[in-house]
Amino acid sequence: MSVRAISSPNIALVKYWGNRHTALRLPAADSLSITLSTPTVTLTVDHADSLKIRSYTMGEERPVTGKHLERFAAHIAHAKTYLATLGIPDAVPSSLSIDIDSHIPPSVGLASSAAVFSCLAQAIRQLIAPSIALTDAQTSVIARLGSGSACRSVMGGFVAMEAGNGDAIDAAFARQIADAEHWMLYDFVIIPTHEEKKVGSTEGHAEAQSSPLFAERVTAIHTRRQQECINAIMHKDFEKLRAVSEEDMWDMHRVMQSQSHPLNYLSDETHRIVRELEALRTAQHMPVLYTMDAGPTVHAICTEEAVPLVQEFAEAQQECTLFLAHAGSGSRPA
């Protein structure tokens, strides 16, 4: 019997960049994000004789072949290894049929892999429910094995990925800091280009250690930033959240740009949007922060009071695709 699940991306405020174990996607440091309400991806998953994936993005079929197909096969194999540690190695068959219906533009720094693998983890949870009732944290381990940041989209609201210690497959998992109702934040996702990026996050993470700034970044998150971000969320202190998240975001991009193969995911358009947003918030005393992941997309995140002004700003961006999201609920049955 097939199962259906739905999920959405998350936007990180303390960024995940670099692993201590590449194949298992065990992160070098903690991270923290807001799970978004939209755009969504829906998966229909069933048992099959061989791995079959059909993927539609905005209604258009995108064949899943080569390294993309291998990534799903590797994910299922890792999920089975993890489930073996829970005593149910055969709960998931080696092969699945997976139908993906995505509303997320691919490879523009809006984490489509986070939505897809958190959704697949949720579908696997539903598929194996007759054998075991997985917890959210256990489901987040399965999501992480497909895409590190997917770990955080298994839960709603404000979610930390705790890096943990050691190389056990379940050493890193997600923990909900607060649900979406705790503090309703809005995210205007401003996408300046639909050109697909050349180097994906997976390849980028693998070289993070080559940056001379990486060790210092890990220490800053470990000793200070992650906790500052959690405190800002718990106290709904927007100015503190803005300061720590922008500091961390620029720090991640400096690491990316100083890796042995430098990665510059930000475009001139990104910098222009950011400059104009900074000028506007200074002039209007507007509670808005901006952040960018591995792509040129700008996330302008604000409280309810700033929505009208930020919306006006976002809608004035020529030739950009725009999404309005807010803190949402994470992966769940569809």
**Smallest distance, Å, CB 231 to ligand DP6?**
19
Q: Which of 3, 5, 8, 15 binds ligand DP6 (CB under 6 A)?
A: 15
Is there binding between residue 293 and ligand DP6 (CB under 6 A)? yes
- Number of alpha carbons in the 13 Å side-chain half-sphere of residue 76: 24
Nearest to 15 by CA among 293, 263, 270: 293
Tell me which stretch binds ligand DP6 (CB under 6 A): 11-19, 48-56, 221-229, 306-314: 11-19
3-state secondary structure at position 214:
helix
Q: Tell me the two tokens of residue 56.
A: 């539609």
Residues of span 144-163 touching ligand DP6 by CB under 6 A: 147-149
Q: Tell me the two tokens of residue 267.
A: 């475009």
Q: What are phi and psi of 265, to 5 degrees?
A: -85, -10
**Smallest distance, Å, CB 316 to ligand DP6?**
26
**Smallest distance, Å, CB 251 to ligand DP6?**
12
**Smallest distance, Å, CB 204 to ligand DP6?**
8
Distance CA 65, CA 125 (A): 25
| Bridge partner residues of 61 (DSSP) | 56
Rounding to the nearest 10 degrees, give the CA dihedral for residues 220, 221, 226, 227. -40
SS3 content of the chain, % helix, strand, coil (to 5): 40, 25, 35
Is there binding between residue 101 and ligand DP6 (CB under 6 A)? no
32 or 128, CB closer to ligand DP6?
A: 32
**Smallest distance, Å, CB 147 to ligand DP6?**
3
Tell me which stretch binds ligand DP6 (CB under 6 A): 13-21, 83-91, 279-287, 323-331: 13-21
3-state secondary structure at position 5:
strand
Is there binding between residue 12 and ligand DP6 (CB under 6 A)? yes
Largest Cα–Cα separation, the chain: 61
Is there binding between residue 25 and ligand DP6 (CB under 6 A)? yes
80 or 152, CB closer to ligand DP6?
A: 152
CB 30 within 8 A of CB 225: no
Is there binding between residue 225 and ligand DP6 (CB under 6 A)? no
Beta strands 96-102 and 52-57 are: parallel
Q: Which of 16, 158, 173, 214 binds ligand DP6 (CB under 6 A)?
A: 16
Nearest to 240 by CA among 216, 251, 224: 224
Distance CA 112, CA 295 (A): 12
Tell me which stretch binds ligand DP6 (CB under 6 A): 89-97, 142-150, 182-190, 267-275: 142-150
Is there binding between residue 116 and ligand DP6 (CB under 6 A)? no
Residues of span 205-224 touching ligand DP6 by CB under 6 A: 205
Residues of span 51-80 touching ligand DP6 by CB under 6 A: none
Q: Which residues bind ligand DP6 (CB under 6 A)?
A: 12, 15-17, 25, 31, 111, 113-114, 147-149, 201-202, 205, 293-294
